[in-house]
Structure 1
């Protein structure tokens, strides 16, 4: 029996925001050098001076960068981004531990 490899992402949402970013890049909405520059600026603004381990701190910065790029490129309105963030927060806070988080319609 072979050993099961460790997951690449700590949480499902890490993989989802990563995949969404790659998809938007491949669809031509922004180029990768622009992404890396913006992500680096987010990390600098957060004062990250240590190596990140790919946990929540890394992906929260990743998500912030993606949200900012979507607004800058006109792909998402600021109000829509904030409304979705609030909806996810409400859903998360009202979901029992261990259960999947679901947005209400």
Structure 2
């Protein structure tokens, strides 16, 4: 991110974690593939952010990227042949795989 107080300094990192960049790249890929429109993406993300704010979530990058995931999940269920049940099961499978994978090793199902 550009720092106006230090215009010649290298940009600060844009993401705290790689998954944050991957989530936004996934959203862009789904838009480019025609699964949903940029307007639908913006509306879903805005709605998720509003819900998090209403529920008292702090205004942080973590909250923003949690809203990104929420919007992606909702749009995926609405605009692909993946059901909520299938999505929940796949997420549970990945979480179980993540927990059993030794640190530094790739996660596989």
TM, length-normalised to structure 2:
0.74
- Higher RCO structure, 1 or 2 (CA under 8 Å, sep 6+): 1
Find the partner of 1:91 among 85, 88, 97.
97
2: CA distance between counterparts of 1:45 and 1:70?
Answer: 18
Summarize the Cα distance change of 1:92–1:4 in structure 2 as closer, same or farther, 3 Å threshold: farther
Summarize the Cα distance change of 1:40–1:96 in structure 2 as closer, same or farther, 3 Å threshold: same
Aligned to 2:12: 6
User: Is the CA contact (8 Å cut-off) linking 2:52 and 2:63 kept in structure 1?
Assistant: no
Q: Where in structure 2 are the equivalents of 1:1-105 lying within 5 Å? A: 5-47=11-53, 52-53=59-60, 55-97=61-103, 99-104=104-109
Work out the number of aligned pairs and report it: 101
User: Is the CA contact (8 Å cut-off) linking 1:14 and 1:59 kept in structure 2?
Assistant: yes
How far did 1:82 drift?
A: 0.7
Structure 1's consecutive aligned runs of 4 or more residues displaced over 3 angstroms after TM superposition are 3-6, 48-53
Q: Show structure 1 runs of 5+ residues with no match.
A: none
Q: Show structure 2 runs of 5+ residues with no match.
A: 1-8
